[in-house]
Structure 1
């Protein structure tokens, strides 16, 4: 199993690095600070209430261009070739719960309670038409990720009912992930100052948290589309896309897209790898998402919102698309 996963990740890396484009001369000397929040109850449509992927928080810093320490710059060039270089450092927490949150012991076959805390380090390499990301994540799955404390503490603060089954959450285990991905920015048309482009992407990761490969594509319409490489959610997908530099006083766009994932392993569904009797359910290998959103860049700030619909992740999950909202704010200084 591990050998097959390693080969799959190696093949993905070759795909990511196989295409090159002319490097852009545009420089960006300011770092980008990002705060992002996701929740199944915060949605432009009727949201859910604490089930499945119920909450995500992320804080991230992305450097300006070409100011990496020399050894890291050499590594970036060795891994990804010529281009404008950045490094990205982040911390994220994700919370997962079953559908039945008001029973002491979640029923068999439901998603286990799980908290995940991850630190992320990514190297980023930009050209005029592509962004390549390679890096790793390290952290913990289990009580040490503080999922129970954050969720029930917030419920207490707003006088809401706490979730009752956190004592059955997945046990502590260390996490280490390798990840890689590439986005291509392909202009389509410009009509009366309104631009359109397509952002195809491939990404994947391998480790003891979530091993998957993904193919995605987004269509955007707006102005200043060359200011960034699109928007991204906290969960699986291409990480490291926070960096931007507005190419006009106000840059903006609407977008919509799809993402298809082939999932080889998911510890939050299949249970702890260090305990054989861990709560678990049967994952599905094929997971899809639909995204729609808007982003605005103005005076060094970037605000974006996306609405996301996800297909079922495990056998027995209630039918229909699961939806959640994602709000992201970035500032440069």
Structure 2
């Protein structure tokens, strides 16, 4: 079993253990894989795996599980108690890795993004129906050698005969990560084949700090609720705000348009709390404002579902001083499979 498979197995065991028994009926298990190879790239974000376990919907936030010290006590202010909303709790465990373009170069690369390994877990709470969504999440983890990104990439590249990653000795130093997220959505229009929603997201922490307005469009035979866009853990809030069909299957497409202002982005700026060679000596210049178009195809049945998304971004770093092999954009694809139980 390779490192990614072991991580997903541990993720499912972790999530199953921490949710209380009262939330285990009618929940959702989702496994996500994100990689940039689908867009013929191998720099900036390169790979991520995660597992998300979501509880059964309940009629009030008070009925969700929660956890000591963290959980809904810290996020309830962002989630209004409105009659008729469905309330859920989700847990996520995942690993991400980011690299410069030339992974076969063992020395420190100062004019490209750093090697970053991230391992984290989080807890989210949210309320939703077919018109509104309100949610918040905390995320805890760390970057650096204990994130095991070096081992995961070496294992996978050895198995598939890919380039040997030689530069992980230059990855960002160990740093604990604490991040918080809030999200809100409002359906603006819908008919039998199309709907559009306005979204707003924000994050605060030493992994990402950003503000992000957006538009979310769905086309086809959509379920009620709001579509979750598969993506790397830590890039936004994790949730399952879909009201699944009882019978039959739903097929639809989604288009999400976002403009994100990054006040802080550790994968492009380096360590915040500790010193590190790349952080102290890099020569790249990041772009604070980034546009994204996320294209999705979705199938959802009563028990199973599958989702494919392509994240297409504008330039996240200035290309004036980048090596020729580096793509200044941060584009990748994500696949998510889900099971409802």
The TM-score range, normalised by the shorter chain, is 0.7 to 0.9
Aligned to 1:271: 270
The C-alpha deviation readout for 1:259-301, integer Å capped at 9, x for no partner, is 1110011122221123334313432211111111111111311
> d(CA) in 1 for partners of 2:266 and 2:72?
33
Distance 1:238 1:115, change over 3 A: closer
- Once the two structures are superposed, the pairs formed by residues 244-259 of structure 1 within 5 Å of their partners are 244-247=242-245, 249-259=248-258
Aligned partner of 1:58 among 46, 50, 60: 50
> d(CA) in 2 for partners of 1:169 and 1:320?
19
The C-alpha deviation readout for 1:20-60, integer Å capped at 9, x for no partner, is xxxxxxxx96111000001011x2xx421x31110011111
The C-alpha deviation readout for 1:233-271, integer Å capped at 9, x for no partner, is 225654233343323511121111211110011122221
Aligned to 1:13: none
Distance 1:168 1:288, change over 3 A: same
How far off is 1:217 after superposition?
Answer: 1.1
Aligned to 1:303: 306
Aligned partner of 1:116 among 115, 118, 143: 118
Aligned to 2:188: 186
The SS at the match of 2:331 is strand
CA RMSD of aligned residues (A): 2.4
> d(CA) in 2 for partners of 1:123 and 1:260?
24
How far off is 1:84 after superposition?
Answer: 2.1
Q: Does 1:324 align with 2:332?
A: yes
Distance 1:302 1:152, change over 3 A: same
Distance 1:52 1:69, change over 3 A: closer
Aligned to 2:293: 290
Q: Is the 8 A contact 1:100 1:106 kept in 2?
A: no
Q: When the two structures are superposed, what TM-score results if normalisation uses the length of structure 2?
A: 0.80
> d(CA) in 2 for partners of 1:199 and 1:237?
20
Aligned to 1:140: 142
Q: Is the 8 A contact 2:36 2:46 kept in 1?
A: yes
Q: Which segments of 5 or more consecutive residues in structure 2 lack a partner in the other structure?
A: 1-23
Aligned partner of 1:100 among 86, 99, 102: 102
How far off is 1:76 after superposition?
Answer: 6.7
Aligned partner of 2:317 among 310, 314, 319: 314
Equivalent residues, number? 298
> d(CA) in 1 for partners of 2:266 and 2:297?
32
The SS at the match of 1:284 is coil
Distance 1:75 1:159, change over 3 A: closer
Distance 1:77 1:235, change over 3 A: closer
Q: Which segments of 5 or more consecutive residues in structure 1 lack a partner in the other structure?
A: 1-27
Q: What stretches of structure 1 move > 6 A for 4+ residues in a row?
A: 70-76
Q: Is the 8 A contact 1:76 1:125 kept in 2?
A: no
How far off is 1:117 after superposition?
Answer: 0.9
Q: Is the 8 A contact 1:115 1:148 kept in 2?
A: yes
Q: Is the 8 A contact 1:133 1:240 kept in 2?
A: no
Aligned to 2:172: 170
